[in-house]
Structure 1
Amino acid sequence: MEDLSCYHCGDTIKTCVTFDEKSFCCNGCKTVYEIFSENGLASYYDLDAAPGAAPAKFEGKYDFLGNESIAAKLLEFSDGKTQVISLYIPHIHCSSCIWILENLNKLRPEISSSQVDFPKKTIRITWNHENLSLKELVLFLSSIGYEPYISLDDTETAKKKIDRSIIYKLGVSGFAFGNVMFLSFPEYFEVNEFWLEQYKGLFRWLMFAFSLPVVFYVAQDYFISAYKGLRARILNIDVPLALGVVVLFVRSTLEIMFDWGTGFFDSLTGLVFFLTLGKFFQQKTYNFLSFERDYKSYFPIGITRITSEGKEESVHVHDIEKGDRILIRNEELIPVDGILINGNARIDYSFVTGEAEAVQKESGDKLFAGGKQVSGMIEMEALKSVSQSYLTKLWSNDVFQTRKEESFTSFINQISKYFTIVLLLIAFSATAYWAFIDVAIAINVFTAVLIIACPCALAMSTPFTLGNLLRIFGNKKFYLKNAGVIEQLAKADALVFDKTGTITSNKKNSISYEGVQLSAEEESLLKNTLRASNHPLSRALYDLLAEYDISPPEEFSEVTGKGIEAVHQERAIKVGSAEFVGNASEATTLNTSVHISSNNEYKGRYIFYNEYREGVNSLFEDLAPAYDLAILSGDNEGEKARLEEILPKKTRMLFNQKPEDKLEYIKSLQQQGRKTVMVGDGLNDAGALAQSEVGIALSENVNVFSPACDAIMDASILGKLLDFIKASKAGMKVIKISMLLSFLYNIVGLYFAVTGQLSPIIAAILMPLSSISIIAFTTLCTNLIGRKI
């Protein structure tokens, strides 16, 4: 019975419960196994051996979640039917946990989706609140061994407290190491009379006592990780480290028990102390980069705020405060929770819930951040200031993730798979050789080999290089969805640009009007119709027209790529292409034009003479030698002659391109083996942005959000695009060099370890130093790269 372990959680069985020819430590574990098996999720146990946790009893523990006011503070989103929550689950520790938690919908049909953030040990769940309450959801998670940690005061603070264990372990190992070193001084200085005659036994057993908490508390993570790996038939990198600690401890204990010598307690405690110290510094550096990523790499969103005098002003989203009255135009993202004041609100919450069906809202209803208005313009009052990290979370939602290859990551995973096997072969071979010469040297060689050859530096070169570049790019107003985008940028060999609102400026158009003069009523309706649209031409024309009283249209619709129409007080207006407004005879004009009709009577057109962004011709000239360039425009060929003057001759130009045409063009390039970057304004280019290897949405001062893009670039720095691509290529070179350095560290270290010239304590110092030096190298190089942008 003592040798039996629970099939579900791995705990030692005291009272055996047998089911399906498997042994469980309690009925709770047996029940969880039954649930998984009955729902076709038995593969949970194939991914890792005994991955679960024994479910505890929770009588009355979560009754407080039945209180709606308390539950509302924990929810990210709620519309009466669908709710979204992020929960911290400490037990998430392996691939089985991720697999089962992302398949919760197979256990409870009320759950529509669940997404795990493994590094943060959180899960984001979207479910039907009508059939499953928050309390029932939490109890269900607890019943299958994944009890959430819920702190009503501050969940983030609670998480930080839980993660402070490495500091305690560092203190314990440092205290033990210092004392063992002092107790070893008589041996070092060969004070024979003092050592041998009086205190030899006492000092040796004191060193043994100091080593116990180091081995069984501080080093336990290595043992647990190695045990789980072996149980799942995987040789992970913690196996050699755990072996080294065990060999040193057993050999040292035997030496003092049989009076063979003083042992290696100084090396043992020093080894664990320096390993813990290295892990502490790595964690601090990683947390620093994660902090930069989570809170400072936000995308630049502006929002229109209505002042107390009734005037509109464009402000940064962070400047929104509780009580502010804000204007949300068609296709704009709602940046904060608020109350609808007026307007026809149809909110698309697919960014939050994944449900594409828009929800109708009435005046006085609550609107949640992350919804997108899809039916004209609305006004709302903000209930809180913006949570930019929440918007970043929406942008990173798996619903909109395209799985794009990250070759460096997969390359490192392949290396790590075979690294431990080769390392163990070298260690045992060298030990067998030295055992015939000197057993003491053999023990030292075995331990030193296991310690010095660690792929930590190799594994950290990629995330630290890309992570630091991610932060640098963000500081320079180029915001990437994730680090993998940098790798894709470096591979790119074709760049495709949208024209209107991308290489042309929204703020510098010169506009003239041809046609029947509009009446004051018609111009007022035109102004209020354009007020609700986010298209670059709409914004430019809106700024040109005179000020009129704000009078939102009663009906509004926008047809992507064609135009907009609105109705107010029985007067209808159409704004857009000639065909859209009903005057196809005007469609042959070569200039970019916006046509107007009032009550189905054609009035005239506004002709736009584009002003191109600063640095566009120099950008294209610099890109031309190395990249395949193309301009895709939904407009006609009116600007073709001018574009031919300012752009390189090899640049392809395609006009009258619908959104689906742009998407097909990207596909055609990819079929030729091209790695494409698509640069657009995020309005009519969503398909092309999503299809390309890297989709870059250019942002000016409008609150348009496209989850299809991989990066958002401030419009003012378009001319620096090549600098960012060059920086990405340089980043890839830094990764290759740091990998080479890591291999050199291991080869040189192994040589000295195998030849018996390296003691375990020196190996323990050099191992984290190699990792820290790689981090320093990548950080220094990426900072230098950043200065060149």
Structure 2
Amino acid sequence: MQQTCFHCGSDCGKSPIVFDDKNFCCHGCQTVYEIFSTNNLSCYYDLQSAPGAIPQEIEGKYDYLDNLDIIEKLVEFNDGSIQVVNLYIPHMHCSSCIWILENLHQLQPEIKSSQVNFPKKTVRITFKTENFNLKEVVKLLSTIGYAPYISLNDYTEGKKQVDRSLIYKLGVAGFAFGNVMFLSFPEYFEVSEYWLDQYKYLFRGLMFAFSLPVVFYAAQEYFVSAYKGLRSNILNIDVPIALGILVLFIRSTAEVFTDSGTGFFDSLTGLVFFLLLGKFFQQKTYSFLSFERDYKSYFPIAVTKITKKNESVIEENIQIYEVKKGDRLLIRNNELLPVDSILISGKGQIDYSFVTGESEPVDKVSGDKLFAGGKQLFGAIEVEAIKSVEQSYLTQLWSNDVFAKDKEHGFIGIINSISKYFTWAVLSIAVIATSYWLVVDSSLAINVLTSVLIIACPCALALSTPFALGNMLRIFGRQKFYLKNANIIEKLASVDTLIFDKTGTITTNKKSTIAYEGLSLSEDEEALLKNTLRSSNHPLSRALYNFLAEQDIQTLDDFEEVTGKGMHAKKADNSIEVGSAKFVGNDTETDTLATTVHIKTNDIYKGKYIFHNQYREGVKELFQQLKKDFHLIILSGDNHGEKKFLQQLLPQRTDMLFHQKPEDKLNYIKTLQKEGRNVMMVGDGLNDAGALAQSNVGISIAENVNVFSPACDAILEASQFQKIAAFIKAAKKTVSIIKWSITLSFIYNVIGLYFAVTGQLSPIIAAILMPLSSITVLIFVTVLTNLKGEKLFKNSRNEARA
């Protein structure tokens, strides 16, 4: 009896290695099993039987990873104690692969985390380098059967391998289909004498021969996918397809070898050809949508570029994709480093938690290298870029699953809620219909079985959602509304409560009127105030910084910003506190009808700057549109001095809460969610990070500041603020389009099943109709999302002009 390896499933031969009452084909597989068992990871084998790969000989294979220059090219991040590397794992193929690769930290304590990107077959590993290195990471992966593919050309030249297997399979299937159809002409035209007397067996043998590469090469992906699904106790959409192909092949082969008929080789090869043609079309279309989404998805944030001209310093905001190697950049408190750079001046205290998950900040001094993705926590620093911006890297940080797990928990999309029942229904109909025809007319039973399995393939059903959402994602990107992923559209469509921050969200820091009341400030105090404000990204700080006269740039000795309250700083013997009245200790302050920023220097209260806020264009009209369908709330950290003005500006039923600390906003949203509300929070991304993370949908308004928050689900450029109602309406329309496409797909399936069950539909016609139905659904959702999106945003522009 053949004995298979417990780890990889290979044949153990005549002399298997027996360990722990289990058979292994080699010592490598035995070693992997021992590693898993020792580290309490033996449940790896509960996910699938024999899920592993055979570990190859690795001694000396990765010695080149001792070269520091090569390591520098391969790693994404390296601060001397922690490294981050993204490796391509060709053997990754199933749920157990994902499970073990995301549990590497249990095999090796020096590995902090590992995150799998299954579609790209990559794993991003963060590890400590004190007693561990990249070579050991790669050796560990190879030891457990997941040897990474490493090509330095991919890193130095940016070349990527193109998978042409689908094209080759399509070519083989098309060639075979054409020839089988040609060889079937005598049968089609009933050329009896010529056919029966001379070439019948030759032609049938050739048709059988042409079908072999189609079934065992071109169609192998369907069999592999169905087999893996069944091993995992999952009925995926490839199960009925694989069953249909197998039934056609077995029936046709039996007819040819028993000389009882010519078989269905034309239907078989045509089926596979049209299946692959449909898949090729779908792949090309979705790749186009994904590319356009990636290309347009740069963050609408800017960084301050410093230029010295005629002994004066010019600070200008530029889009981050304009940053070039050698540019001098200003990074303020809580700003993200958009590029790898060298620290020129200032005290660096960098939080790399976005990159490594390590929350402990790292102190840096002039001359140290800083990595993209780090966040400055101590005042302002000046850096020099040593690379241009790699936008995909920022996208990777923003889309990191670490920041999405809590929100995704419990969320079920439209398709997922119905697809699990679909395959069972199809298989049940196929069995019942085939059983009926075996009794009534057995000659039609095989056609009925195959036609049912093919015509009811849920490809159109499965593709309608990603295409509709992907296309709307692209349309949103054109409107400068950038979503973290397509699922946000479905969430956006279900919100019923909208919460807006005030300062920096419904107000703009570009058009504020500012006046000062209080004791005059000395030159040193004005300089200290200007440089303190220079380090902050709060909207009021930016507005006041631009309002004050130019001062010499100074490096602060001490700086701290207390979120939602204010900041204090020191330079030589002078100290300053800037923020709310309570923060600076002015208990006698009474509420005014405007927003105020108070100043205290050297423990002496000086006065306050009064802001007469300028509200964003279209705020009143936007709230009037939203009031019909949503519960509207203003949640502000400012005083309620402008409450009366807001009551006149906004609809009567708008709730307003003031003096809200960041934790108050978060807790308020929690309370609403416990009441069953779906909450969308719109904030400035700085003080509102907790509220954005807690809400069902968090939108950060970006207005020429480099504040990066992975807590938000979307970034909206400030100039598009008045289109929020149109975005929500477009999300609702998209979900409606998905539902209509599902209905269309079901109608097609019901009609097709009627003809298939009654024996009126041949497998070849079913094979042609199946990809056509998918193409029809794709065209339907693409055209409708384009039309609806164009109409909604055109109306939004017209309303704004009116």
Q: Report the alpha carbon displacement of residue 495 of structure 1 after superposing the two structures with TM.
A: 0.8
| Contact kept? 1:582, 1:600, Cα under 8 Å | no
Q: Report the alpha carbon displacement of residue 485 of structure 1 after superposing the two structures with TM.
A: 1.4
Quote the residue 1:163 is aligned against. 163
Equivalences for residues 577-596 of structure 1 within 5 A: 577-586=580-589, 588-596=591-599
Is the aligned partner of 1:458 residue 2:440?
no
Q: Report the alpha carbon displacement of residue 271 of structure 1 after superposing the two structures with TM.
A: 0.8
Q: Report the alpha carbon displacement of residue 162 of structure 1 after superposing the two structures with TM.
A: 5.6
| Over 4 Å off, 4+ runs | 155-160, 405-411
**1:487-545 CA-partner distances (Å, limit 9, x unpaired):** 11111111111111111111010001111222233222221221111111111111111
Quote the residue 2:260 is aligned against. 260
Is the aligned partner of 1:704 residue 2:707?
yes
Is the aligned partner of 1:558 residue 2:561?
yes
C-alpha distance 160-182 of structure 1, shift in aligned 2 (>3 A): farther
Aligned counterpart in structure 1 of residue 500 of structure 2, from 493, 497, 500: 497
Matched AA of 2:396: K
Q: Report the alpha carbon displacement of residue 158 of structure 1 after superposing the two structures with TM.
A: 9.3
Q: Report the alpha carbon displacement of residue 146 of structure 1 after superposing the two structures with TM.
A: 1.0
Q: Which moved more, 1:313-322 or 1:195-204?
A: 195-204
| Counterpart Cα distance in 2 of 1:180 and 1:566 | 82
Matched AA of 1:98: I
Q: TM-score, structure 1 length as denominator?
A: 0.97
Matched AA of 1:578: A
| Secondary structure at the counterpart of residue 634 of structure 1 | coil
Q: Report the alpha carbon displacement of residue 620 of structure 1 after superposing the two structures with TM.
A: 1.0
Quote the residue 1:59 is aligned against. 59
| Counterpart Cα distance in 2 of 1:785 and 1:555 | 53
| Counterpart Cα distance in 2 of 1:358 and 1:345 | 9
Is the aligned partner of 1:687 residue 2:686?
no
Q: Report the alpha carbon displacement of residue 639 of structure 1 after superposing the two structures with TM.
A: 0.9
Q: Report the alpha carbon displacement of residue 250 of structure 1 after superposing the two structures with TM.
A: 1.9
| Secondary structure at the counterpart of residue 123 of structure 2 | strand
Quote the residue 2:106 is aligned against. 106
| Secondary structure at the counterpart of residue 436 of structure 1 | helix
Q: Report the alpha carbon displacement of residue 627 of structure 1 after superposing the two structures with TM.
A: 1.2
| Counterpart Cα distance in 1 of 2:181 and 2:130 | 64
Matched AA of 2:36: F
Q: Report the alpha carbon displacement of residue 716 of structure 1 after superposing the two structures with TM.
A: 1.0
Aligned counterpart in structure 1 of residue 622 of structure 2, from 619, 624, 631: 619
| Contact kept? 2:154, 2:160, Cα under 8 Å | no
| Counterpart Cα distance in 2 of 1:254 and 1:85 | 54
Q: Which moved more, 1:561-570 or 1:620-629?
A: 561-570
| Counterpart Cα distance in 2 of 1:108 and 1:231 | 29
**1:139-167 CA-partner distances (Å, limit 9, x unpaired):** 10111111111111116999953622111
| Counterpart Cα distance in 2 of 1:534 and 1:216 | 61
Matched AA of 2:263: G
| Contact kept? 1:590, 1:638, Cα under 8 Å | yes
Equivalences for residues 510-659 of structure 1 within 5 A: 510-586=513-589, 588-659=591-662
Quote the residue 1:736 is aligned against. 739
| Counterpart Cα distance in 2 of 1:227 and 1:630 | 52
| Contact kept? 2:6, 2:50, Cα under 8 Å | yes
| Counterpart Cα distance in 2 of 1:706 and 1:320 | 20
| Contact kept? 2:73, 2:155, Cα under 8 Å | no
Quote the residue 2:485 is aligned against. 482
| Contact kept? 1:328, 1:379, Cα under 8 Å | yes
| Counterpart Cα distance in 2 of 1:553 and 1:30 | 60
Quote the residue 2:4 is aligned against. 5
Q: Report the alpha carbon displacement of residue 405 of structure 1 after superposing the two structures with TM.
A: 5.2
C-alpha distance 184-727 of structure 1, shift in aligned 2 (>3 A): same
| Contact kept? 1:402, 1:690, Cα under 8 Å | no
Equivalences for residues 190-339 of structure 1 within 5 A: 190-309=190-309, 310-339=313-342
Quote the residue 2:91 is aligned against. 91
Matched AA of 1:318: Y
| Counterpart Cα distance in 2 of 1:627 and 1:245 | 51
Matched AA of 1:113: S
Q: Report the alpha carbon displacement of residue 27 of structure 1 after superposing the two structures with TM.
A: 2.2
| Counterpart Cα distance in 2 of 1:429 and 1:402 | 42
Equivalences for residues 737-776 of structure 1 within 5 A: 737-776=740-779
Quote the residue 2:798 is aligned against. none
**1:73-119 CA-partner distances (Å, limit 9, x unpaired):** 11111111111111111121111111111111111111111111111
Gaps of 5+ in 1: none
| Secondary structure at the counterpart of residue 458 of structure 1 | helix
| Secondary structure at the counterpart of residue 308 of structure 1 | strand
Matched AA of 1:13: C
| Counterpart Cα distance in 2 of 1:235 and 1:652 | 49
| Secondary structure at the counterpart of residue 30 of structure 2 | helix
Q: TM-score, structure 2 length as denominator?
A: 0.95
Aligned counterpart in structure 1 of residue 380 of structure 2, from 360, 373, 377: 377
* Identical-pair percentage: 67
Equivalences for residues 296-445 of structure 1 within 5 A: 296-309=296-309, 310-404=313-407, 409=412, 412-413=415-416, 415-445=418-448
**1:582-618 CA-partner distances (Å, limit 9, x unpaired):** 3322354443111112222222211100110000011
Q: Report the alpha carbon displacement of residue 406 of structure 1 after superposing the two structures with TM.
A: 8.2
Is the aligned partner of 1:124 residue 2:113?
no
C-alpha distance 415-641 of structure 1, shift in aligned 2 (>3 A): closer
C-alpha distance 326-346 of structure 1, shift in aligned 2 (>3 A): same
C-alpha distance 7-290 of structure 1, shift in aligned 2 (>3 A): farther
Matched AA of 1:55: P
Q: Report the alpha carbon displacement of residue 26 of structure 1 after superposing the two structures with TM.
A: 2.2
Gaps of 5+ in 2: 794-802
| Counterpart Cα distance in 1 of 2:558 and 2:228 | 62
Q: Which moved more, 1:374-383 or 1:658-667?
A: 658-667
Matched AA of 2:651: P
| Counterpart Cα distance in 1 of 2:156 and 2:736 | 37
| Secondary structure at the counterpart of residue 585 of structure 1 | coil
| Secondary structure at the counterpart of residue 506 of structure 1 | strand
| Counterpart Cα distance in 2 of 1:23 and 1:466 | 48
C-alpha distance 617-340 of structure 1, shift in aligned 2 (>3 A): same
| Counterpart Cα distance in 2 of 1:28 and 1:736 | 51
Q: Report the alpha carbon displacement of residue 703 of structure 1 after superposing the two structures with TM.
A: 0.3
| Counterpart Cα distance in 1 of 2:759 and 2:31 | 54
Q: Which moved more, 1:12-21 or 1:315-324?
A: 12-21
| Secondary structure at the counterpart of residue 161 of structure 1 | coil
| Counterpart Cα distance in 2 of 1:725 and 1:411 | 18
Quote the residue 1:660 is aligned against. 663
Matched AA of 2:390: S
Q: Report the alpha carbon displacement of residue 437 of structure 1 after superposing the two structures with TM.
A: 4.1
| Counterpart Cα distance in 1 of 2:597 and 2:64 | 58
Matched AA of 2:7: H
| Contact kept? 1:49, 1:228, Cα under 8 Å | no
C-alpha distance 229-672 of structure 1, shift in aligned 2 (>3 A): closer
